[in-house]
Structure 1
Protein backbone atom coordinates (compact mmCIF):
# COMPACT_ATOMS: atom_id res chain seq x y z
CA UNK A 1 0.00 0.00 0.00
CA UNK A 2 1.39 3.41 -1.01
CA UNK A 3 0.34 6.32 1.20
CA UNK A 4 0.93 9.92 0.16
CA UNK A 5 0.96 11.86 3.42
CA UNK A 6 0.46 15.61 3.09
CA UNK A 7 1.04 17.94 6.08
CA UNK A 8 -0.93 21.03 5.09
CA UNK A 9 0.75 24.40 4.35
CA UNK A 10 4.44 25.03 5.12
CA UNK A 11 7.22 27.48 4.39
CA UNK A 12 5.84 30.89 3.40
CA UNK A 13 2.28 29.61 3.99
CA UNK A 14 1.71 29.29 7.76
CA UNK A 15 -1.91 28.20 7.45
CA UNK A 16 -4.28 28.96 10.31
CA UNK A 17 -2.91 30.84 13.34
CA UNK A 18 -4.05 31.28 16.91
CA UNK A 19 -3.11 30.96 20.57
CA UNK A 20 0.58 31.16 19.73
CA UNK A 21 0.36 28.26 17.28
CA UNK A 22 0.86 27.88 13.52
CA UNK A 23 -1.02 25.25 11.54
CA UNK A 24 2.01 24.37 9.39
CA UNK A 25 3.98 23.28 12.48
CA UNK A 26 1.18 21.19 13.95
CA UNK A 27 0.36 19.39 10.70
CA UNK A 28 4.01 18.48 10.16
CA UNK A 29 4.40 17.22 13.72
CA UNK A 30 1.30 15.00 13.48
CA UNK A 31 2.25 13.69 10.04
CA UNK A 32 5.79 12.76 11.11
CA UNK A 33 4.37 10.91 14.10
CA UNK A 34 1.88 9.12 11.87
CA UNK A 35 4.61 8.04 9.47
CA UNK A 36 6.68 6.71 12.36
CA UNK A 37 3.78 4.68 13.79
CA UNK A 38 2.89 3.12 10.45
CA UNK A 39 6.44 2.29 9.39
CA UNK A 40 7.31 0.87 12.80
CA UNK A 41 4.24 -1.30 13.23
CA UNK A 42 2.94 -2.42 9.82
CA UNK A 43 4.16 -4.42 6.85
CA UNK A 44 3.90 -3.59 3.15
CA UNK A 45 3.33 0.15 3.43
CA UNK A 46 5.33 2.79 1.57
CA UNK A 47 4.96 6.41 2.63
CA UNK A 48 5.89 9.52 0.67
CA UNK A 49 5.41 12.87 2.36
CA UNK A 50 4.75 16.14 0.57
CA UNK A 51 7.20 17.73 3.00
CA UNK A 52 9.26 16.60 5.98
CA UNK A 53 10.37 20.10 6.96
CA UNK A 54 9.13 23.68 6.84
CA UNK A 55 9.19 24.18 3.09
CA UNK A 56 6.86 25.87 0.62
CA UNK A 57 5.05 23.56 -1.81
CA UNK A 58 2.07 24.35 -4.00
CA UNK A 59 -1.11 22.30 -4.08
CA UNK A 60 -0.43 21.41 -7.72
CA UNK A 61 3.04 20.14 -6.84
CA UNK A 62 1.56 17.94 -4.12
CA UNK A 63 -1.12 16.28 -6.21
CA UNK A 64 1.17 15.93 -9.24
CA UNK A 65 3.74 14.18 -7.06
CA UNK A 66 1.15 11.81 -5.57
CA UNK A 67 -0.27 11.01 -8.99
CA UNK A 68 3.14 10.39 -10.56
CA UNK A 69 4.15 8.14 -7.69
CA UNK A 70 0.99 6.06 -8.06
CA UNK A 71 -0.23 6.42 -4.48
CA UNK A 72 -3.12 4.28 -3.28
CA UNK A 73 -4.35 6.87 -0.79
CA UNK A 74 -3.84 10.59 -0.28
CA UNK A 75 -4.16 11.85 3.29
CA UNK A 76 -3.94 15.58 3.95
CA UNK A 77 -3.55 16.68 7.58
CA UNK A 78 -4.90 20.11 8.56
CA UNK A 79 -5.91 22.28 11.52
CA UNK A 80 -9.06 24.42 11.34
CA UNK A 81 -9.95 27.98 12.35
CA UNK A 82 -13.21 29.93 12.64
CA UNK A 83 -12.73 33.21 14.55
CA UNK A 84 -12.69 31.34 17.85
CA UNK A 85 -16.31 30.24 17.61
CA UNK A 86 -15.98 26.56 16.66
CA UNK A 87 -14.41 23.47 18.19
CA UNK A 88 -13.96 19.88 17.07
CA UNK A 89 -12.84 17.41 14.44
CA UNK A 90 -14.16 16.92 10.92
CA UNK A 91 -12.91 15.36 7.72
CA UNK A 92 -13.62 15.68 4.02
CA UNK A 93 -13.75 13.67 0.81
CA UNK A 94 -14.38 15.02 -2.70
CA UNK A 95 -17.89 16.36 -3.23
CA UNK A 96 -18.30 14.39 -6.45
CA UNK A 97 -18.17 11.03 -4.64
CA UNK A 98 -21.06 9.05 -3.20
CA UNK A 99 -21.30 7.74 0.34
CA UNK A 100 -20.93 4.24 -1.10
CA UNK A 101 -17.61 4.94 -2.82
CA UNK A 102 -14.42 3.21 -1.72
CA UNK A 103 -13.09 6.60 -0.61
CA UNK A 104 -16.10 7.14 1.64
CA UNK A 105 -15.64 3.69 3.17
CA UNK A 106 -11.97 4.37 3.89
CA UNK A 107 -12.91 7.71 5.43
CA UNK A 108 -15.61 6.13 7.61
CA UNK A 109 -13.05 3.81 9.21
CA UNK A 110 -10.43 6.51 9.72
CA UNK A 111 -12.98 8.97 11.10
CA UNK A 112 -14.19 6.43 13.65
CA UNK A 113 -10.69 5.66 14.91
CA UNK A 114 -9.57 9.30 15.15
CA UNK A 115 -12.64 10.27 17.15
CA UNK A 116 -11.87 7.56 19.71
CA UNK A 117 -8.59 9.23 20.67
CA UNK A 118 -8.61 12.95 19.91
CA UNK A 119 -10.77 14.33 22.79
CA UNK A 120 -12.54 16.69 20.37
CA UNK A 121 -16.24 17.15 19.56
CA UNK A 122 -17.27 15.22 16.46
CA UNK A 123 -18.30 17.67 13.74
CA UNK A 124 -18.99 14.88 11.29
CA UNK A 125 -17.97 13.56 7.88
CA UNK A 126 -18.20 16.16 5.12
CA UNK A 127 -17.61 16.77 1.42
CA UNK A 128 -15.77 19.58 -0.37
CA UNK A 129 -14.25 20.59 -3.70
CA UNK A 130 -10.75 21.05 -2.30
CA UNK A 131 -7.88 20.82 -4.81
CA UNK A 132 -6.13 17.89 -3.12
CA UNK A 133 -9.37 15.88 -3.10
CA UNK A 134 -10.40 16.78 -6.65
CA UNK A 135 -7.05 16.56 -8.46
CA UNK A 136 -5.64 13.42 -6.83
CA UNK A 137 -6.06 10.29 -8.96
CA UNK A 138 -6.41 8.02 -5.95
CA UNK A 139 -8.80 7.90 -2.99
CA UNK A 140 -8.19 11.02 -0.91
CA UNK A 141 -9.22 12.44 2.44
CA UNK A 142 -8.49 15.66 4.32
CA UNK A 143 -8.76 15.79 8.11
CA UNK A 144 -9.27 18.98 10.14
CA UNK A 145 -7.92 18.28 13.61
CA UNK A 146 -9.45 20.90 15.84
CA UNK A 147 -9.65 24.70 15.71
CA UNK A 148 -6.42 26.56 16.38
CA UNK A 149 -8.25 29.73 17.47
CA UNK A 150 -10.45 27.95 20.03
CA UNK A 151 -9.04 27.89 23.58
CA UNK A 152 -10.00 24.26 24.34
CA UNK A 153 -8.69 22.85 21.07
CA UNK A 154 -5.50 24.91 21.18
CA UNK A 155 -4.74 23.75 24.73
CA UNK A 156 -4.83 20.19 23.46
CA UNK A 157 -2.69 21.01 20.44
CA UNK A 158 0.08 22.22 22.73
CA UNK A 159 0.31 18.75 24.32
CA UNK A 160 2.73 16.29 22.73
CA UNK A 161 0.60 13.42 24.01
CA UNK A 162 -2.44 14.79 22.16
CA UNK A 163 -0.57 15.09 18.86
CA UNK A 164 0.65 11.53 19.35
CA UNK A 165 -2.92 10.37 19.97
CA UNK A 166 -4.18 12.11 16.83
CA UNK A 167 -1.45 10.40 14.82
CA UNK A 168 -2.30 7.06 16.43
CA UNK A 169 -5.98 7.48 15.58
CA UNK A 170 -5.17 8.10 11.92
CA UNK A 171 -2.79 5.13 11.93
CA UNK A 172 -5.41 2.83 13.43
CA UNK A 173 -7.91 3.91 10.81
CA UNK A 174 -5.52 3.45 7.90
CA UNK A 175 -4.55 0.02 9.18
CA UNK A 176 -8.22 -1.00 9.29
CA UNK A 177 -9.13 0.60 5.98
CA UNK A 178 -6.30 -1.03 4.06
CA UNK A 179 -6.12 -4.23 6.11
CA UNK A 180 -2.47 -3.71 6.98
CA UNK A 181 -0.67 -6.63 8.59
CA UNK A 182 1.28 -5.93 11.79
CA UNK A 183 5.02 -6.51 11.64
CA UNK A 184 6.09 -9.81 13.13
CA UNK A 185 6.92 -9.53 16.80
CA UNK A 186 8.69 -12.05 18.96
CA UNK A 187 5.95 -14.20 20.39
CA UNK A 188 5.90 -14.22 24.19
CA UNK A 189 6.20 -17.52 26.00
CA UNK A 190 2.89 -19.14 26.96
CA UNK A 191 1.48 -17.50 30.06
CA UNK A 192 3.72 -14.44 29.78
CA UNK A 193 2.46 -10.95 29.08
CA UNK A 194 3.72 -7.88 27.26
CA UNK A 195 5.71 -5.32 29.25
CA UNK A 196 3.83 -2.22 30.33
CA UNK A 197 5.69 1.08 30.75
CA UNK A 198 4.02 3.14 33.47
CA UNK A 199 4.68 6.86 33.80
CA UNK A 200 4.89 7.79 37.49
CA UNK A 201 4.71 11.43 38.58
CA UNK A 202 5.36 10.87 42.25
CA UNK A 203 5.29 8.16 44.90
CA UNK A 204 4.14 9.09 48.43
CA UNK A 205 3.50 7.42 51.76
CA UNK A 206 0.99 10.14 52.65
CA UNK A 207 -2.13 9.92 50.46
CA UNK A 208 -2.77 13.64 50.98
CA UNK A 209 0.46 14.42 49.13
CA UNK A 210 -0.54 12.07 46.31
CA UNK A 211 -3.93 13.79 46.01
CA UNK A 212 -2.23 17.18 45.86
CA UNK A 213 0.00 15.96 43.02
CA UNK A 214 -3.09 14.63 41.27
CA UNK A 215 -4.67 18.09 41.35
CA UNK A 216 -1.46 19.67 40.01
CA UNK A 217 -1.42 17.25 37.08
CA UNK A 218 -5.09 17.82 36.35
CA UNK A 219 -4.56 21.59 36.27
CA UNK A 220 -1.84 21.08 33.65
CA UNK A 221 -4.05 18.83 31.52
CA UNK A 222 -2.56 15.43 32.40
CA UNK A 223 -4.96 12.57 33.12
CA UNK A 224 -3.76 10.58 36.12
CA UNK A 225 -4.84 8.45 39.04
CA UNK A 226 -3.51 7.09 42.34
CA UNK A 227 -2.35 3.48 42.46
CA UNK A 228 -1.67 1.86 45.83
CA UNK A 229 1.36 -0.46 46.01
CA UNK A 230 3.15 -2.24 48.84
CA UNK A 231 6.94 -2.00 48.97
CA UNK A 232 8.92 -3.79 51.71
CA UNK A 233 5.75 -4.10 53.75
CA UNK A 234 4.90 -0.40 53.52
CA UNK A 235 2.01 1.19 51.60
CA UNK A 236 2.87 3.76 48.94
CA UNK A 237 0.60 5.92 46.79
CA UNK A 238 1.84 6.28 43.24
CA UNK A 239 0.48 8.99 40.96
CA UNK A 240 0.33 7.34 37.54
CA UNK A 241 0.01 9.47 34.41
CA UNK A 242 -0.18 6.85 31.69
CA UNK A 243 0.74 3.28 30.81
CA UNK A 244 2.12 2.32 27.40
CA UNK A 245 3.10 -0.91 25.67
CA UNK A 246 5.53 1.16 23.58
CA UNK A 247 8.40 2.63 25.61
CA UNK A 248 8.90 5.46 23.12
CA UNK A 249 5.38 6.67 23.89
CA UNK A 250 6.08 6.52 27.62
CA UNK A 251 9.29 8.52 27.18
CA UNK A 252 7.41 11.10 25.10
CA UNK A 253 4.93 11.51 27.95
CA UNK A 254 7.79 12.00 30.45
CA UNK A 255 9.37 14.67 28.22
CA UNK A 256 6.06 16.48 27.91
CA UNK A 257 5.52 16.45 31.67
CA UNK A 258 9.05 17.65 32.39
CA UNK A 259 8.51 20.52 29.95
CA UNK A 260 5.67 21.54 32.28
CA UNK A 261 7.96 21.39 35.32
CA UNK A 262 6.73 17.98 36.55
CA UNK A 263 9.30 15.32 37.39
CA UNK A 264 8.26 11.86 36.14
CA UNK A 265 9.87 8.48 35.65
CA UNK A 266 9.03 5.13 34.04
CA UNK A 267 8.43 1.82 35.76
CA UNK A 268 8.34 -1.23 33.47
CA UNK A 269 6.30 -4.20 34.65
Structure 2
Protein backbone atom coordinates (compact mmCIF):
# COMPACT_ATOMS: atom_id res chain seq x y z
CA UNK A 1 0.00 0.00 0.00
CA UNK A 2 1.45 3.36 -1.06
CA UNK A 3 0.33 6.25 1.16
CA UNK A 4 0.96 9.86 0.17
CA UNK A 5 0.83 11.71 3.48
CA UNK A 6 0.41 15.47 3.27
CA UNK A 7 1.13 17.72 6.29
CA UNK A 8 -0.82 20.84 5.40
CA UNK A 9 0.87 24.20 4.72
CA UNK A 10 4.57 24.77 5.55
CA UNK A 11 7.37 27.24 4.92
CA UNK A 12 6.04 30.72 4.16
CA UNK A 13 2.47 29.43 4.59
CA UNK A 14 1.86 28.90 8.32
CA UNK A 15 -1.77 27.89 7.87
CA UNK A 16 -4.16 28.63 10.71
CA UNK A 17 -2.71 30.33 13.77
CA UNK A 18 -3.89 30.82 17.32
CA UNK A 19 -2.89 30.52 20.96
CA UNK A 20 0.78 30.76 20.04
CA UNK A 21 0.57 27.80 17.64
CA UNK A 22 0.92 27.45 13.86
CA UNK A 23 -0.96 24.82 11.91
CA UNK A 24 2.08 23.93 9.79
CA UNK A 25 3.98 22.70 12.86
CA UNK A 26 1.12 20.65 14.31
CA UNK A 27 0.34 18.96 11.00
CA UNK A 28 3.98 18.04 10.36
CA UNK A 29 4.37 16.53 13.81
CA UNK A 30 1.21 14.41 13.48
CA UNK A 31 2.15 13.27 9.97
CA UNK A 32 5.63 12.24 11.05
CA UNK A 33 4.13 10.23 13.89
CA UNK A 34 1.72 8.51 11.47
CA UNK A 35 4.61 7.59 9.22
CA UNK A 36 6.71 6.33 12.13
CA UNK A 37 3.98 4.01 13.38
CA UNK A 38 3.17 2.64 9.94
CA UNK A 39 6.78 2.02 8.93
CA UNK A 40 7.70 0.55 12.32
CA UNK A 41 4.72 -1.72 12.83
CA UNK A 42 3.21 -2.73 9.48
CA UNK A 43 4.30 -4.74 6.46
CA UNK A 44 4.12 -3.68 2.83
CA UNK A 45 3.47 0.00 3.53
CA UNK A 46 5.34 2.71 1.64
CA UNK A 47 4.81 6.23 2.99
CA UNK A 48 5.84 9.41 1.17
CA UNK A 49 5.53 12.78 2.91
CA UNK A 50 4.75 15.88 0.86
CA UNK A 51 7.21 17.64 3.17
CA UNK A 52 9.42 16.38 6.00
CA UNK A 53 10.47 19.81 7.25
CA UNK A 54 9.17 23.38 7.46
CA UNK A 55 9.30 23.89 3.70
CA UNK A 56 6.99 25.45 1.13
CA UNK A 57 5.21 23.31 -1.43
CA UNK A 58 2.33 24.25 -3.69
CA UNK A 59 -0.92 22.31 -3.77
CA UNK A 60 -0.27 21.44 -7.41
CA UNK A 61 3.16 20.06 -6.54
CA UNK A 62 1.63 17.85 -3.86
CA UNK A 63 -1.05 16.30 -6.06
CA UNK A 64 1.29 15.97 -9.04
CA UNK A 65 3.80 14.15 -6.88
CA UNK A 66 1.17 11.77 -5.49
CA UNK A 67 -0.27 11.10 -8.95
CA UNK A 68 3.13 10.53 -10.57
CA UNK A 69 4.15 8.18 -7.76
CA UNK A 70 0.97 6.14 -8.18
CA UNK A 71 -0.16 6.44 -4.56
CA UNK A 72 -3.02 4.25 -3.38
CA UNK A 73 -4.30 6.87 -0.94
CA UNK A 74 -3.86 10.60 -0.35
CA UNK A 75 -4.22 11.69 3.29
CA UNK A 76 -3.93 15.39 4.10
CA UNK A 77 -3.51 16.47 7.73
CA UNK A 78 -4.82 19.88 8.84
CA UNK A 79 -6.06 21.92 11.78
CA UNK A 80 -8.97 24.34 11.70
CA UNK A 81 -9.69 27.93 12.74
CA UNK A 82 -12.85 29.99 12.78
CA UNK A 83 -13.98 32.36 15.50
CA UNK A 84 -12.29 31.11 18.66
CA UNK A 85 -15.45 29.35 19.83
CA UNK A 86 -15.75 26.51 17.32
CA UNK A 87 -14.25 23.19 18.43
CA UNK A 88 -13.86 19.63 17.25
CA UNK A 89 -12.85 17.24 14.50
CA UNK A 90 -14.18 16.89 10.95
CA UNK A 91 -12.94 15.36 7.73
CA UNK A 92 -13.59 15.81 4.02
CA UNK A 93 -13.80 13.93 0.75
CA UNK A 94 -14.48 15.59 -2.61
CA UNK A 95 -17.93 17.09 -3.09
CA UNK A 96 -18.63 15.14 -6.31
CA UNK A 97 -18.33 11.74 -4.60
CA UNK A 98 -21.34 9.73 -3.47
CA UNK A 99 -21.71 8.31 0.02
CA UNK A 100 -21.45 4.83 -1.52
CA UNK A 101 -18.11 5.51 -3.25
CA UNK A 102 -14.93 3.66 -2.35
CA UNK A 103 -13.44 6.92 -1.09
CA UNK A 104 -16.41 7.47 1.22
CA UNK A 105 -16.02 3.93 2.50
CA UNK A 106 -12.38 4.52 3.39
CA UNK A 107 -13.28 7.82 5.04
CA UNK A 108 -16.03 6.20 7.11
CA UNK A 109 -13.52 3.78 8.59
CA UNK A 110 -10.89 6.43 9.31
CA UNK A 111 -13.43 8.82 10.78
CA UNK A 112 -14.72 6.22 13.24
CA UNK A 113 -11.22 5.26 14.41
CA UNK A 114 -9.96 8.83 14.78
CA UNK A 115 -13.00 9.94 16.78
CA UNK A 116 -12.46 7.07 19.22
CA UNK A 117 -9.18 8.49 20.47
CA UNK A 118 -8.81 12.20 19.69
CA UNK A 119 -10.78 13.69 22.64
CA UNK A 120 -12.49 16.14 20.28
CA UNK A 121 -16.16 16.68 19.60
CA UNK A 122 -17.38 15.10 16.37
CA UNK A 123 -18.33 17.74 13.78
CA UNK A 124 -19.11 15.09 11.21
CA UNK A 125 -18.13 13.78 7.80
CA UNK A 126 -18.18 16.49 5.13
CA UNK A 127 -17.47 17.18 1.46
CA UNK A 128 -15.66 20.04 -0.26
CA UNK A 129 -14.00 21.03 -3.53
CA UNK A 130 -10.49 21.28 -2.03
CA UNK A 131 -7.63 21.05 -4.52
CA UNK A 132 -5.98 18.01 -2.96
CA UNK A 133 -9.29 16.12 -3.03
CA UNK A 134 -10.17 17.21 -6.57
CA UNK A 135 -6.81 16.82 -8.33
CA UNK A 136 -5.58 13.59 -6.76
CA UNK A 137 -6.29 10.59 -8.99
CA UNK A 138 -6.53 8.18 -6.06
CA UNK A 139 -8.95 8.13 -3.12
CA UNK A 140 -8.24 11.08 -0.85
CA UNK A 141 -9.28 12.45 2.53
CA UNK A 142 -8.48 15.64 4.41
CA UNK A 143 -8.74 15.63 8.22
CA UNK A 144 -9.22 18.78 10.32
CA UNK A 145 -7.87 17.97 13.77
CA UNK A 146 -9.30 20.59 16.07
CA UNK A 147 -9.48 24.39 16.04
CA UNK A 148 -6.15 26.04 16.74
CA UNK A 149 -7.83 29.32 17.73
CA UNK A 150 -9.93 27.60 20.41
CA UNK A 151 -8.21 27.52 23.80
CA UNK A 152 -9.38 24.02 24.72
CA UNK A 153 -8.45 22.44 21.38
CA UNK A 154 -5.13 24.30 21.34
CA UNK A 155 -4.29 23.01 24.83
CA UNK A 156 -4.59 19.48 23.45
CA UNK A 157 -2.49 20.32 20.37
CA UNK A 158 0.37 21.44 22.60
CA UNK A 159 0.80 17.99 24.16
CA UNK A 160 2.90 15.30 22.49
CA UNK A 161 0.68 12.59 23.94
CA UNK A 162 -2.39 14.03 22.19
CA UNK A 163 -0.59 14.33 18.87
CA UNK A 164 0.51 10.72 19.27
CA UNK A 165 -3.10 9.63 19.94
CA UNK A 166 -4.32 11.49 16.87
CA UNK A 167 -1.61 9.85 14.77
CA UNK A 168 -2.54 6.44 16.15
CA UNK A 169 -6.20 7.07 15.33
CA UNK A 170 -5.33 7.80 11.71
CA UNK A 171 -3.16 4.66 11.62
CA UNK A 172 -5.93 2.53 13.13
CA UNK A 173 -8.25 3.71 10.38
CA UNK A 174 -5.72 3.01 7.64
CA UNK A 175 -5.05 -0.46 9.05
CA UNK A 176 -8.76 -1.33 8.92
CA UNK A 177 -9.47 0.34 5.59
CA UNK A 178 -6.55 -1.26 3.76
CA UNK A 179 -6.24 -4.48 5.77
CA UNK A 180 -2.65 -3.76 6.78
CA UNK A 181 -0.76 -6.54 8.55
CA UNK A 182 1.50 -6.05 11.55
CA UNK A 183 5.13 -7.03 11.27
CA UNK A 184 5.97 -10.27 13.00
CA UNK A 185 8.63 -10.33 15.70
CA UNK A 186 12.04 -10.33 14.12
CA UNK A 187 10.73 -9.25 10.71
CA UNK A 188 12.78 -6.08 10.76
CA UNK A 189 16.21 -5.71 9.26
CA UNK A 190 19.27 -6.62 11.32
CA UNK A 191 20.08 -2.98 11.99
CA UNK A 192 16.51 -1.94 12.91
CA UNK A 193 16.18 -0.50 16.38
CA UNK A 194 13.05 0.18 18.41
CA UNK A 195 13.68 3.22 20.59
CA UNK A 196 11.69 4.16 23.68
CA UNK A 197 11.13 7.93 23.83
CA UNK A 198 10.29 9.30 27.27
CA UNK A 199 9.63 12.92 26.36
CA UNK A 200 10.65 15.77 24.05
CA UNK A 201 11.49 19.24 25.35
CA UNK A 202 12.54 22.62 23.99
CA UNK A 203 14.64 23.10 27.13
CA UNK A 204 17.67 20.86 27.60
CA UNK A 205 17.44 21.44 31.35
CA UNK A 206 13.90 20.01 31.37
CA UNK A 207 15.08 16.98 29.40
CA UNK A 208 17.91 16.44 31.89
CA UNK A 209 15.41 16.65 34.74
CA UNK A 210 13.40 13.87 33.05
CA UNK A 211 16.58 11.75 32.85
CA UNK A 212 17.19 12.26 36.57
CA UNK A 213 13.58 11.43 37.42
CA UNK A 214 13.81 8.17 35.46
CA UNK A 215 17.14 7.33 37.09
CA UNK A 216 15.51 7.53 40.53
CA UNK A 217 13.00 4.95 39.25
CA UNK A 218 15.82 2.66 38.13
CA UNK A 219 15.54 3.49 34.42
CA UNK A 220 18.60 4.62 32.49
CA UNK A 221 18.09 7.21 29.75
CA UNK A 222 19.92 10.01 27.99
CA UNK A 223 19.23 13.24 26.11
CA UNK A 224 19.36 13.30 22.31
CA UNK A 225 18.74 16.38 20.14
CA UNK A 226 16.86 16.78 16.87
CA UNK A 227 15.55 19.61 14.72
CA UNK A 228 11.81 19.67 13.96
CA UNK A 229 10.26 22.39 11.79
CA UNK A 230 13.42 24.45 12.24
CA UNK A 231 13.29 24.22 16.03
CA UNK A 232 15.77 22.39 18.26
CA UNK A 233 14.23 19.76 20.52
CA UNK A 234 15.82 17.62 23.24
CA UNK A 235 14.50 14.08 23.30
CA UNK A 236 14.87 11.64 26.19
CA UNK A 237 15.66 8.10 25.01
CA UNK A 238 15.17 5.27 27.49
CA UNK A 239 16.58 2.35 25.53
CA UNK A 240 16.96 0.91 22.04
CA UNK A 241 16.10 -2.71 21.21
CA UNK A 242 16.34 -5.01 18.20
CA UNK A 243 13.10 -6.76 19.23
CA UNK A 244 9.90 -4.76 19.48
CA UNK A 245 8.63 -6.92 22.33
CA UNK A 246 11.61 -5.84 24.45
CA UNK A 247 10.95 -2.21 23.59
CA UNK A 248 7.30 -2.62 24.59
CA UNK A 249 8.36 -4.09 27.95
CA UNK A 250 10.60 -1.08 28.53
CA UNK A 251 7.81 1.27 27.43
CA UNK A 252 5.53 -0.23 30.06
CA UNK A 253 8.18 0.35 32.73
CA UNK A 254 8.62 3.97 31.65
CA UNK A 255 4.87 4.54 31.77
CA UNK A 256 4.70 2.96 35.24
CA UNK A 257 7.41 5.42 36.27
CA UNK A 258 4.98 8.26 35.57
CA UNK A 259 5.58 9.08 31.91
CA UNK A 260 2.19 8.22 30.29
CA UNK A 261 3.00 9.85 26.94
CA UNK A 262 6.13 7.75 26.27
CA UNK A 263 6.16 6.00 22.88
CA UNK A 264 8.24 3.83 20.55
CA UNK A 265 9.90 4.88 17.32
CA UNK A 266 11.76 2.70 14.87
CA UNK A 267 15.03 3.61 13.19
CA UNK A 268 16.61 1.46 10.53
Normalization by structure 2: what TM-score?
0.72
Name the SS of the counterpart of 2:47 in structure 1.
Answer: strand
For structure 2, list consecutive stretches of 5 or more residues without a partner in the other structure. 187-197, 200-212, 215-246, 263-268
Q: Using the alignment, how far apart are the partners of 2:178 and 2:113 within structure 1?
A: 13
Q: Using the alignment, how far apart are the partners of 2:252 and 2:54 within structure 1?
A: 24
- Deviation sequence 1:213-257 (CA, Å, 0-9, x none): xxxxxxxxxxxxxxxxxxxxxxxxxxxxxxx94756986998978
Contact 1:13 1:56 in 2 (8 A): yes
For structure 1, list consecutive stretches of 5 or more residues without a partner in the other structure. 187-197, 203-243, 259-263, 265-269
**Which residue number in structure 2 is paired with residue 112 of structure 1?**
112
Alignment of 1:95 onto 2:95? yes
1:185 deviates by 2.0
Name the SS of the counterpart of 1:93 in structure 2.
Answer: strand
Alignment of 1:50 onto 2:47? no
Structure 1 residues 256 and 26, CA, compared in 2 at 3 Å: closer, same or farther?
A: farther
Alignment of 1:37 onto 2:37? yes
Name the SS of the counterpart of 1:48 in structure 2.
Answer: strand
Contact 1:160 1:253 in 2 (8 A): no
Name the SS of the counterpart of 1:43 in structure 2.
Answer: coil
**Which residue number in structure 1 is paired with residue 236 of structure 2?**
none
Name the SS of the counterpart of 1:65 in structure 2.
Answer: helix
**Correspondence list, 1:246-257, <5 A:** 247=250
Residues matched between the structures, number:
208
Alignment of 1:139 onto 2:136? no
Q: Which has the higher Rg, Structure 1 or Structure 2?
A: 1
**Which residue number in structure 2 is paired with residue 207 of structure 1?**
none
1:125 deviates by 0.4
1:85 deviates by 1.8
Please give the root-mean-square deviation of Cα atoms over the aligned residues, in Å: 3.0
**Which residue number in structure 2 is paired with residue 20 of structure 1?**
20
Q: Using the alignment, how far apart are the partners of 2:96 and 2:23 within structure 1?
A: 27
Q: Using the alignment, how far apart are the partners of 2:252 and 2:7 within structure 1?
A: 22
Q: Using the alignment, how far apart are the partners of 1:40 and 1:143 within structure 2?
A: 23
- Deviation sequence 1:6-46 (CA, Å, 0-9, x none): 00000000000000000000000000000000001100010
